[in-house]
Amino acid sequence: MATFRISEAAALVGVSDDTVRRWAESGRLSTVRDGGGRLAIDGRELARFAAELGAAVESPASAAPVVSESARNRFAGIVTRVTRDGVMAQVEIQAGPHRVVSLMSREAADDLGLQPGVLAVAAVKATNVVVELPRQRA
């Protein structure tokens, strides 16, 4: 399984390196040593943790200070879940506070080796994209 250095893990969950170090020091996030002896996060552990963080994030409409924003169409993140059946696969990627879900053929998911803990990029292409602005708090 892949491991991610502190800075890589921080970028994937959308926080600072120091925040990841604090989480590790407090025991909230388990760490391992990589081949060079540096502190790292196991991919499966990071996937579990990213999914936990994503579930705790408020929706943008209720979080407000966002005044206006439109996300880019490429989301680098970590695979947190893969559900396969005979023909299709549902792949969930946590990219910072964003949870992206993709439906693809099982064959494609297998060929890509998708499983929790794998680094992936969700490239979103849509003919209809809705952009919303949350109501500003008084």
**CATH number, span 3-63:** 1.10.1660.10
Tell me what pLDDT residue 42 has. Answer: 93
Query: Residues spanned by CATH 1.10.1660.10 within the chain?
Result: 3-63
The predicted pLDDT at position 60 comes to 47
Helix (H, G, I), strand (E, B) or coil at 94: strand
Q: What is the mean pLDDT of the chain?
A: 83
pLDDT at 50: 87
Helix (H) or strand (E) holding 107: helix 106-112
Q: Is 96 helix (H, G, I), strand (E, B) or coil?
A: coil
Say yes or no: domain 74-123 is CATH 3.40.50.880: no
Average pLDDT of span 80-108: 93
In which band, very low, low, confident or very high, does the pLDDT at 122 lie, cut at 50, 70 and 90? confident
User: Could you please report the per-residue DSSP string of 36-78?
Assistant: TS-EEEEHHHHHHHHHHHHHHSPPHHHH----S----SEEEEE
Residue, of 69 and 96, whose pLDDT is higher? 96
Q: How do residues 36-81 score in pLDDT, each as one tens digit?
A: 889 999 999 998 898 888 766 554 444 455 455 455 577 888 999 9
CATH 2.40.50.100 spans which residues of the chain?
Answer: 74-123
